[in-house]
Structure 1
Amino acid sequence: MQDDPQSPEPERRRRRHLLLRVDSWIDSTVWNLGFKLSEIWEEITIFSRKFRVRGGKRVIVELLDEGMTFGTAGMVVLLALAIPAFEETKEDWRSRGDFAVTFLDRYGNVIGHRGIIHEDSVPVDKLPDHLVKAVLATEDRRFFSHFGIDFLGLVRAMSENAKAGGVVQGGSTLTQQLAKNLFLTNERSIERKIKEAFLALWLEANLSKKEILSLYLDRAYMGAGTFGAAAAAQFYFGKNITEVNLAEAAMLAGLFKAPAKYAPHVNLPAARGRANEVLTNLVQGGLMTEGQVIAARRNPATVIDRAATPAPDYFLDWAFEEVQRLAGDGRLKKRSVVVRTTIDMGLQQAADEAMESSLREYGESYRVKQGALVMIETGGAVRAMVGGRDYGESQFNRATKALRQPGSSFKLYTYTAAMEKGFTPESVISDAPITWRGWSPQNYGRSYKGRVTLLSAMAQSLNTVPVRLAKDELGTDKIVETAKLMGVETPLRSDKTIPLGTSEVTVMDQATAYAVMPAGGLQSRRHGIAQVLDYEGDVLYDFSRDAPAPQRVVSEKAMSSMNRILTQIPVIGTAKRAALDGGIVTGGKTGTSQSYRDAWFIGFTGNYTTAVWFGNDDFTSMNNMTGGALPAMTFKKLMDYAHQGIELKPVPGIDNPLPHGNHASGPAVAAKGSETGLPPLIRPRSLSAESTRILRGIAESLTKASDLGRSSQKVADATLRSQTGEPEKGRP
């Protein structure tokens, strides 16, 4: 009996036979391929035996093999490190400084210059030969022979530093220094040094040696707010760079190492001593003989008389970046401009003195070396900025660029978000142990208060309360959103620890955000530029005209509640040393980061907001410094000075009566100021606010009277001419 071709059984057999044939083909193909590969491998092995080495040669070959392996891995690592550095070159780096900007203070006085028009710079070929030699002998003797990194110079510098037991020589080449000036900041970090090395190689590959030298001489900071050798020659000697003699060239070349320390208008003996070292370098480097430099040694350079008033260089750097930002937004069409800034040089000098006196008197005991400060007047104008202790030593602006943990000063955003949700200063919450996703924060002192009001929790800087608010009521995203609305521009991490200020911010961020409170909950609109004009006097930009109106970022109710809390912290909380003299209502918050690496106080009155930070560039711990210590004391010293003889504005939401505007008489302030341990600053006598208003009224009345008189005279003259028939002047 034959199978039915249409039955399912024959169909299954056919499929099975087909699958068996496919399986057989795969097996045979794989076997043949494996056999073929084994034959090829055997042939390769037989061939490679011809190159087999034994004995001492084998050791060399093995070392070369391992070297190639590690070298390949190293190249991959280097490539990964180089990518971030080369990202810096994507922008139009040549035009970054293509501005000639003259800066004025708020009153119209010239305070400094920034930028350079490169077309007007002097080519290297036209510079004095002794100037170029002096720079190379001191900064980079092998400049024309290395490829951007001088390994011989690096070894020599390390050897000299080891002998001296400290840093006495630097290993950076001139190209590396230019890379830092063009693309990077002066922040001392391993990441910056790696970028600097790769960018130096990039510059050597893309520019000639003459171009690198020319850019270096144009861009380097030379002290006294001058950038470039040409500007320094004009400032110190009143000469064109092409006219400087050997003694003056040596003094200029000596400025590259430490421009503030050797600035001749500040310390002429030190500048001459440094110039003598440069002359010695010329002789030791074989670029000149002792006979050629002896006249310069005997007749050192002298400088023209300049006022020793320091320029607000950290502020000017930031303001210059603001100018470039406006140009990038298309608001400035001209490259040579005059900028009226918001800085008040009286307040700036007081801020510098407050910071320096604090570090000088307490720096050693607290083991702190750096500080930063930003002062904003209510309305957004930045009146003072301290970006570090010594601009000549480090141009890195710690006020606008350094990212540091704010500690408890970040609690402003958590409590503000809570007030927006309906909490009040009298709302009660538990201060007790809490665990959130395996994390158990503790209070300072490891004790707990039980049930407390939010006002008390904020004043005593309890840690469990803001964490409980974030965990049970707000969420971390809401806290981040509130901080951004109030003016924090630094990207924030929204992890569980953010209520305690573990995400880094800048001093400028904190000053901007806290300034929302005296502004009544509106954006503080911090700014450093009031006007930009061209040299014909035309206004290219005016903040009051062109900036958008402030938007409300904190409701009136939440703002009022927060101000009630913040103004109690200098009274019953952690910032008692920040309370101002004369009964001026003061609000603010202290902050201390982990292991005492950062100490903050950010405070405000109705007139000003000031953020103060202390710490170390290398992130080492201080000696138990909290925000209620030196930061609060420095805040008080500056703000007491700032409020002398001015009209005091109320803090929104606070009903306390204001003291008289001229409360700060010298002796009284001196007596109270001494309680903080810092001598007070006494503001020079000036007219009171009431006297100023009266004089302005008189001036306006006289102007109107003068205009009226001129109009009356014109009418009388016209009447007389009509009666006598005399023609007007200028007409037949």
Structure 2
Amino acid sequence: MRDSKKKKSPLVADNRYGAKRSGWGKPPGKAPAKSAKPASKAKRGSTRRKPTPKKRSLLGRLWAWFWGLVWTITWRVAMVVATIIGLAVGYQYVLLPDLDTLLDGRAQGSVTLMDRNGDVFAWRGDQFGGVVTASSVSPHLKNAVVATEDKRFYNHFGVSPRGVASAVRINLREGRGPLQGHGGSTITQQTAKLLCLGVEFDKDQWKSEAAYVADCRRTSMTRKITEAIYALAMEVKYSKDEILSIYLNRAYMGGGAYGVEAAGQVYFGKNAAELSPAESAMIAGLLTAPTRLAPTNNLERSQDRAATILRLMNEQGYLSNEQTLFWQENPATLSEAAQAKAGGYFADWIMRPENLPDFLGQNTTEDVIIQTTLDQRIQTAAEEGLQWVFENNVRKGSEAQAAVVVMSADGAVRAMIGGRQTKVSGAFNRAVQAKRQTGSAFKPFVYGTALDLGYSHNDLVEDAPLCMNIPGSGEWCPRNYTNEYYGDVTLEWALANSLNIPAVKISESVGRDNVRKVAADFGIESDLADGPALALGASESSLLEMTGAYAGILNGGSSVTPYGLVELRLQGEDEPMMGTAGGIGERVITEGAARELIYMMSKVVSEGSGTRAQLPGWEVAGKTGTTSAAKDAWFIGFTADYVTGVWMGYDDNTPLTGVTGGGLPAEIWKQVMTRVSDGEIPRALPGFTPSRNANRVPEPVRNNRENVLEQLLRGILGGRN
């Protein structure tokens, strides 16, 4: 049995109703044993009070409250800003397209011109050599770009606060606004600018692509913030090498080249993968100011910039001291095509609307390949020949101009010079655009008409004073250049010595309308004079037209349309879109008349007014031409292979002093053709057998010939050229 007297355990805790708990399971009257020690301690220290914390001053509490408030606002604002930036970056991230669509951002296409041998000699439009990647280009080029534009490119997140702060400091120190001048932009930010922050060109919003680009490049605080957000999105979307690839493909490199591949081809004739450190440094240097630093504008300035970049590559460990010194002492030089200033006058002529539809030329949106008739060896020969004459035979400081055209007998233009400055692009082309009086260079069409109507080279015509009454103009009395008259002369001799009166008489005899028709059918499209002065070259024509007309004589009397375009096709396609638009046309005069005319014109060079054009070992035919008051001087001549026309004069029609067609123009012709025919086997002109009395020369002419030539030579050497 359980002891009923045993004390039961309490059912409720002692402190349930607030009773003071003295112990657990202990009699209430006894204190716990452990309380003795604290009690004695309290007893010993009963005279000391426990210290209380000091209260802060009012100023301290206000200061703490203020900074607490600042911190609260700061982190909350930071959270809001971070959220906004995150949302903005996410929004841009969603809008960013695939990598492949960003590598070629040209709004315009390109035109690549190749010579007759298939070698590239010129470019027009926006050149794009093809897509490259950061891993496929030359390592030197990649290093040069990073060293120059953004040495911390692989370490930042798209925006470099250190770079921005440094740029602001430099701008302020140099007296500019904080965002004017140096921008501190990373390669990623520069790429964002090249992409125009994702805004595409709209013709309705911008008047031109140039205005669109200028708008994309403008600098403002809002623009910089948007640019930074776009750059951050790019860093999330693409890898570092992908961003660099976009940059290398889209950056403008001057000279119409977009991207490093096009720059390598335009300036050095190389792919971007083959560039040396010096070439890479020069291309990287273009990123700062592509037009001003383009090596085609100023090679020395471009080389100096490249030397600086080589030093930066050395400082950042990309090149050793020895490599840096070597490439600084052996700077990059231009390819032959780049030295020719993108094809010069010939390329400009090909791109003219009469040769090329605008949608395939200046405003093409496609990449066009054009094969042309240009022979770069002949072009060089023409340039060197012209330069030699002006350096050796022309007064220093002379502003006289000259133009040269070389073509085959079928009208294929092999070389073209439109002015003394041959390394130009977009300049006034005197060979095509200048319309000048032709003078005696027109006379072969007068005699060609007569021969085609049955005249003979040895027919006689009287060289005597002549006056004609011109309705509305009064009396007109032509004179010979020598102011002398030689009696009865053969047509052959009259042409060889460029007598004026016989030419007028023959023209009047065969009919001016017939002469005009023959000249027009040979390709002289300019308006031809109506009066008798037609025979003396009073009409205006271009050098290209006149040279093409002479080519018609050489090929046996058929018309010729000068041409330079052989074939046009789109890049990547085999079938041409256009073919040759020129060449030999319909017959103008009989082949017999053409051969006889060639024979007569050969006498001009062998014993007449054009003796200075004689080419040792070669048969040459041609004609001199000097206009009234000597404002224009011509010599157009040909061998069996090429027809070459030369014009000389002043742009403002100032008379040439002491210069005739048989002087400096004939000398230019000789110097050009000497170089053109170098190494070639001489071929005879089309054959013609003259009749027995073809060489009759009147006695007065024989006696005065030496005096005439002496006068010409004295005028050439002593006058103003």
Matches within 5 A, 1:501-520: 501-520=537-556
Residue 226 (structure 1) aligned to one of 249, 255, 276: 255
Counterpart position of 2:461:
429
Contact 2:360 2:366 in 1 (8 A): no
Question: 2: CA distance between counterparts of 1:602 and 1:338?
Answer: 32
Read off the aligned partner of 2:255 and give its amino acid letter: T
Counterpart position of 2:121:
111
Question: 1: CA distance between counterparts of 2:283 and 2:397?
Answer: 47
Question: 1: CA distance between counterparts of 2:254 and 2:674?
Answer: 29
Residue 480 (structure 2) aligned to one of 425, 443, 456: 443
- Compared with structure 1, are the counterparts of its residues 250 and 408 closer, same or farther at alpha carbon in structure 2 (3 Å cutoff)? farther
Contact 1:233 1:244 in 2 (8 A): no
Larger Rg: 2
SS of residue paired to 2:370: strand
Quote the offset at 1:571 in angstroms.
0.9
Matches within 5 A, 1:627-666: 627-654=661-688
- Compared with structure 1, are the counterparts of its residues 252 and 498 closer, same or farther at alpha carbon in structure 2 (3 Å cutoff)? farther
Read off the aligned partner of 1:639 and give its amino acid letter: M
1:268-302 Cα deviation digits (max 9, x unpaired):
389979x9xxxxxxxxxxxxxxxxxxxxxxxx9x9
Contact 1:105 1:342 in 2 (8 A): yes
SS of residue paired to 1:602: strand
Task: Tell me whether 302-311 or 441-450 shows the greater mean CA deviation.
Answer: 302-311
- Compared with structure 1, are the counterparts of its residues 226 and 252 closer, same or farther at alpha carbon in structure 2 (3 Å cutoff)? closer
- Compared with structure 1, are the counterparts of its residues 556 and 248 closer, same or farther at alpha carbon in structure 2 (3 Å cutoff)? closer
SS of residue paired to 1:102: strand
- Compared with structure 1, are the counterparts of its residues 406 and 244 closer, same or farther at alpha carbon in structure 2 (3 Å cutoff)? same
Identical aligned pairs, as a percentage? 31
SS of residue paired to 2:356: helix
- 2:497 is the alignment partner of 1:457: no
Question: 1: CA distance between counterparts of 2:621 and 2:606?
Answer: 9
- Compared with structure 1, are the counterparts of its residues 502 and 394 closer, same or farther at alpha carbon in structure 2 (3 Å cutoff)? farther
- Compared with structure 1, are the counterparts of its residues 654 and 303 closer, same or farther at alpha carbon in structure 2 (3 Å cutoff)? same
- Compared with structure 1, are the counterparts of its residues 392 and 447 closer, same or farther at alpha carbon in structure 2 (3 Å cutoff)? same
Question: 1: CA distance between counterparts of 2:348 and 2:115?
Answer: 14
The answer for unaligned runs of 5 or more in structure 2 is 1-106, 131-203, 216-252, 273-280, 309-327, 691-712, 714-721
Quote the offset at 1:426 in angstroms.
0.7
TM-score w.r.t. the length of structure 2 is 0.53
1:544-596 Cα deviation digits (max 9, x unpaired):
7x8686321121222122111101111110010111111x1110000111222
Question: 2: CA distance between counterparts of 1:374 and 1:540?
Answer: 27
Matches within 5 A, 1:167-246: 213=211, 226-227=255-256, 235=266
The answer for unaligned runs of 5 or more in structure 1 is 1-96, 121-205, 218-223, 276-299, 657-675, 677-732
SS of residue paired to 2:586: coil
- Compared with structure 1, are the counterparts of its residues 324 and 622 closer, same or farther at alpha carbon in structure 2 (3 Å cutoff)? closer
Contact 1:312 1:348 in 2 (8 A): no
Question: 1: CA distance between counterparts of 2:635 and 2:447?
Answer: 17
- Compared with structure 1, are the counterparts of its residues 548 and 592 closer, same or farther at alpha carbon in structure 2 (3 Å cutoff)? closer
Counterpart position of 1:527:
563
- Compared with structure 1, are the counterparts of its residues 446 and 272 closer, same or farther at alpha carbon in structure 2 (3 Å cutoff)? farther
- 2:380 is the alignment partner of 1:346: no
Question: 2: CA distance between counterparts of 1:407 and 1:574?
Answer: 14
1:333-372 Cα deviation digits (max 9, x unpaired):
9943211111111111010111112122223269453111
Contact 1:100 1:115 in 2 (8 A): yes
Residue 496 (structure 1) aligned to one of 522, 526, 532: 532
Counterpart position of 1:412:
444
Quote the offset at 1:539 in angstroms.
3.1
Contact 1:375 1:383 in 2 (8 A): yes
Question: 1: CA distance between counterparts of 2:584 and 2:439?
Answer: 32
Question: 2: CA distance between counterparts of 1:351 and 1:541?
Answer: 31
Question: 2: CA distance between counterparts of 1:225 and 1:646?
Answer: 40
Counterpart position of 2:25:
none
Greater helix share, 1 or 2? 1
What's the RMSD between the two structures over aligned residues?
4.4
Residue 470 (structure 1) aligned to one of 486, 495, 507: 507
- 2:637 is the alignment partner of 1:608: no
Read off the aligned partner of 2:445 and give its amino acid letter: Y
SS of residue paired to 1:638: helix
Question: 1: CA distance between counterparts of 2:413 and 2:662?
Answer: 24
Counterpart position of 1:159:
none
Quote the offset at 1:380 in angstroms.
2.3
Question: 2: CA distance between counterparts of 1:419 and 1:225?
Answer: 56
Matches within 5 A, 1:310-389: 310=340, 311-321=342-352, 325=356, 335-364=366-395, 367-389=398-420
Contact 1:368 1:622 in 2 (8 A): no
- Compared with structure 1, are the counterparts of its residues 208 and 462 closer, same or farther at alpha carbon in structure 2 (3 Å cutoff)? same
Quote the offset at 1:252 in angstroms.
4.1
- Compared with structure 1, are the counterparts of its residues 230 and 454 closer, same or farther at alpha carbon in structure 2 (3 Å cutoff)? farther
Counterpart position of 2:619:
585
Matches within 5 A, 1:126-141: none
Question: 1: CA distance between counterparts of 2:406 and 2:551?
Answer: 10
Question: 2: CA distance between counterparts of 1:377 and 1:215?
Answer: 45
Counterpart position of 2:628:
594
- Compared with structure 1, are the counterparts of its residues 456 and 580 closer, same or farther at alpha carbon in structure 2 (3 Å cutoff)? same
Quote the offset at 1:245 in angstroms.
11
Question: 2: CA distance between counterparts of 1:215 and 1:482?
Answer: 53
Quote the offset at 1:639 in angstroms.
1.5
Residue 402 (structure 1) aligned to one of 434, 447, 472: 434
- Compared with structure 1, are the counterparts of its residues 214 and 329 closer, same or farther at alpha carbon in structure 2 (3 Å cutoff)? closer
Question: 1: CA distance between counterparts of 2:425 and 2:303?
Answer: 15
Contact 1:367 1:623 in 2 (8 A): no
Read off the aligned partner of 1:108 and give its amino acid letter: G
Task: Tell me whether 455-464 or 361-370 shows the greater mean CA deviation.
Answer: 361-370
Question: 1: CA distance between counterparts of 2:525 and 2:466?
Answer: 31
1:630-677 Cα deviation digits (max 9, x unpaired):
111111122222223334443223369xxxxxxxxxxxxxxxxxxx9x
- Compared with structure 1, are the counterparts of its residues 609 and 644 closer, same or farther at alpha carbon in structure 2 (3 Å cutoff)? same
SS of residue paired to 1:523: strand
Read off the aligned partner of 2:377 and give its amino acid letter: G
Contact 2:282 2:303 in 1 (8 A): no
Question: 2: CA distance between counterparts of 1:342 and 1:631?
Answer: 24
Question: 2: CA distance between counterparts of 1:306 and 1:320?
Answer: 24
Counterpart position of 1:137:
none
- 2:549 is the alignment partner of 1:487: no
Read off the aligned partner of 1:405 and give its amino acid letter: Q
TM-score w.r.t. the length of structure 1 is 0.53
Counterpart position of 2:111:
101
SS of residue paired to 2:532: coil
SS of residue paired to 1:637: helix
- Compared with structure 1, are the counterparts of its residues 541 and 403 closer, same or farther at alpha carbon in structure 2 (3 Å cutoff)? same
- Compared with structure 1, are the counterparts of its residues 106 and 329 closer, same or farther at alpha carbon in structure 2 (3 Å cutoff)? closer
- Compared with structure 1, are the counterparts of its residues 448 and 394 closer, same or farther at alpha carbon in structure 2 (3 Å cutoff)? farther
Quote the offset at 1:499 in angstroms.
1.2
- 2:595 is the alignment partner of 1:560: yes
Contact 2:254 2:286 in 1 (8 A): no
Contact 1:586 1:603 in 2 (8 A): yes
Matches within 5 A, 1:82-101: 100-101=110-111
- 2:301 is the alignment partner of 1:268: yes
Task: Tell me whether 494-503 or 332-341 shows the greater mean CA deviation.
Answer: 332-341
Count residues with an aligned counterpart.
439
